[in-house]
Amino acid sequence: MSKEVRDLEPSVVWNHFEDLNAVPRPSKKEGRVISFMKSFGNALGLETLQDKIGNVIIKKPATSGLEDRATVILQAHLDMVHQKNSDTEFDFEQQGINSYINGDWVTADGTTLGADNGMGVAAIMAVLSSEEVQNPPIEALFTVDEETGMTGALELDKDILSGSILLNLDTEEDDELSIGCAGGVDTVAKLKYKEESLPDQALQYAISVKGLKGGHSGMEIHLGRGNANKIMNRLIWNCEDSFGLKVNSIEGGSLRNAIPRESFGKIIVNSDDFLTEFSRRKEEIEEELKHTEPELEISIRETSGIDKVIPKDIQKKVLEAIYSVHNGVYRMSSIMTDLVETSSSLAIVSIKNGLFQAESLQRSSFESSKWDIAATIAGPFRLIGCEVSHHGSYPGWAPNTESVILNCVKEQYNIMFGEEPRVLAGHGGLECGIIGERYPDLDMISFGPTIKNPHSPDEKVNIASVGKFWNFLKAILINSPKSSLYVRTCKQGSSELCC
C-alpha cells in the first residue's frame, strides 16, 4: 500500500480507500470485504446488518440539530473489476491493489485501481467514522456483485431500509449529476464442435492483439475504441480457402462489462504467403485506429504444439457470425444530447477444446430497445446453430427532473462552485434503477469524483476531484431536505412521512 497516497488530502477519504484496497474484493467473492465492512461498522459501535445476499447496511444517527432531516441512504458497491496487463503478475484474490501517484492522478501498477466504486465506499466510510461531519440520519448501503450482474441490488431485502433519499456515489465526472441510466442484459452464444487433427505440413502461428485502451463498455462505448475480438476476427477472416487457415484457439476479452483490450489466437496455414496478407490487414487496422488506439500492438510469430483445429465449415460460420454481429453504439438518444441510447459490446470470444462461446452486453435507456438489440445480437449466432441465452437483465433508471434532492443538490453545487452542474442520464449501469424498483418511493441522484478508464488497467482517479467530491458530499448532508418534504400514500390511503 502507498504511504504517499495515504498522505493526500482529504486524508480521511484516502486512508479509507487504501484500507479498502488492501482487501481482495472480486465480484461474487466478496466474503473478505463483507467481513471487513461489518468489522468496521461494529468497531464504530454503529448498528450493522447483513442481508441474505451479502449486502452490508450500517446506520448512523443524525448529529445534533439535524434530527428533523429525511434519512439519507449513502450507497456504493463493494466489488471491483479485475483487469490486468498481460505482462503483469498479480493475484486479485490474494493481493491488495498497488496504488501510486502519477501527476494529478492516483492509479495502479498494471491493474485496475478499484476507484470504481472504491472511492464511493471510502467516502461513506469517512462519513460514518467522522465525529466532525454533520449528517442527517444515515443508512449506508454497501452492495455486492455490482460488476457481474448487480445481484446485490437485485436481491436487496425490501424491508431493511427506511430512508427517503438515496445518494449513489458511483458517477465518474465531478461536475455531473446523474439522474438516470441504461438497463442491460447479457447475451451468451455457445456452439460445440468436434475438433479435427492437423493436416500434413501445416505452418503454426500465434497471433496477439494487445495494447488497446479498453474501458467501461457503457460509459466509453461511444469513443470509437478498438475491440480486440473484432480486430482478431478481421485479421483471420476469409483466409480458409486462400491459405488453408484453421483455428486452434482464440481467447479474447475477460469481463462482460469491459471493452476487450486483448485477444490471443493460435492458427495453422498451408503457405507462408499468409504473412503478407496478415501484414496488409495489420497496417490497415493500425492506420484506422492510430488516433484512438496509439498503443495498439498486433503481432504474429511461429509457434508449435498445435495438434487440433476447428472444422473448416464450423470455423467459417463462426468467423462470419463474429464479423456480422453489431458492436458499438446502436442508437443515440433523441431526448438528451450526446447520450447513447442503445449499444452492444462483444466482450468475450473463446474458441478452444471443442467449444465456441461469445458473450456480449447490451444496454439501453428503453426496455424495449434493450431487448431489440439483444435479439439483433442473437440472430447471427442462432443462424449458425448456436445455443443462445440471455442472462442478468436489469432495468434502467428513468430520470425525474422534479426530484427534491436534485434541486437541492443543484443549488448546493452552484453555491459552492459558482456554476451549474451538468445534469444528465448515463449509459453505464447504476444500481439506482434496481433499488428504485424495490423501494419505489426513493428520491435518488448519483455523483462522484472524476475517474478515467474504469474497468481497465489504465483506471485512474483525479486527486483534486476527490477533495471536491468530499466537500460537496459533506455540504449536501448538512443541507439535506427535511423529512416533511417527503410524504407517501399508505395502503389504507392516508399519508405518512417517508421516514
pLDDT of the residue at 149: 83
Query: Cα separation of 85 and 262, whole Å?
Result: 9
One domain for residues 19 and 88: yes
- pLDDT attached to residue 420: 95
Instruction: Give tens-digit pLDDT for 250-273.
Output: 999 988 999 999 999 999 999 999
Q: State the pLDDT confidence band at 51, using cuts at 50, 70 and 90.
A: very high
Quote the pTM value: 0.80
Q: Which residues are the active-site residues?
A: 79, 146
Q: Which of 342, 117, 351 lies closest to 249 in space, CA to CA?
A: 351
Q: Are residues 337 and 208 in the same domain?
A: yes
Q: Tell me the C-alpha distance between 122 and 20, whole Å.
A: 7
Altogether, the residues listed in the chain come to a count of 499
Cell 442503445 appears where? 342
Q: Say if residue 104 is in the same domain as residue 173.
A: yes
**Number of compact structural domains in the chain:** 2
> Do 155 and 143 belong to one domain?
yes
pLDDT by residue (tens digit) across 406-462? 999 999 999 999 999 999 888 988 899 999 999 999 999 999 999 999 988 999 999
CATH number at residue 192: 3.30.70.360
Do 408 and 310 share a structural domain? no
Q: Does 487 score more than 80 pLDDT?
A: no
Tens of pLDDT, residue by residue over 127-164, are 999 999 999 999 999 999 999 889 999 999 999 999 99
Closest CA to 441 of 136, 161, 124: 161
Question: Is residue 377 located within the same domain as residue 462?
Answer: no
277 and 297 in a single domain? The answer is yes
Do both 315 and 407 map to the same domain? no
pLDDT average, residue stretch 97-126: 97
Range of the structural domain that residue 120 is part of = 3-181+397-497
The set of cell numbers assigned to 290 is 492510430
Looking at the fold, whether 72 and 159 belong to one and the same domain comes out as yes
| Residue with cell string 490487414 | 281
Neighbours of 444 (CB within 10 A): 25
Instruction: Among 369, 394, 419, give the residue marking a domain's end.
Output: 394
Provide the CA 311 distance to its chain's centre, in angstroms: 36
Question: In whole angstroms, how far apart are CA 172 and each of 30, 88, 247, 399?
Answer: 23, 26, 40, 18
Same domain, 300 and 346: yes
Contact 260, 214 (CB under 8 A): yes
The average confidence (pLDDT) of the chain is 94
Percent pLDDT > 90 in the chain is: 88
- Name the burial class of residue 346, with classes exposed (0-12), middle (13-18) and buried (19+) by CB atoms within 10 angstroms of its CB: buried
Cell for 245? 487457415
* CATH number of the domain enclosing 56: 3.40.630.10
C-alpha 161/C-alpha 70 separation (Å) is 13
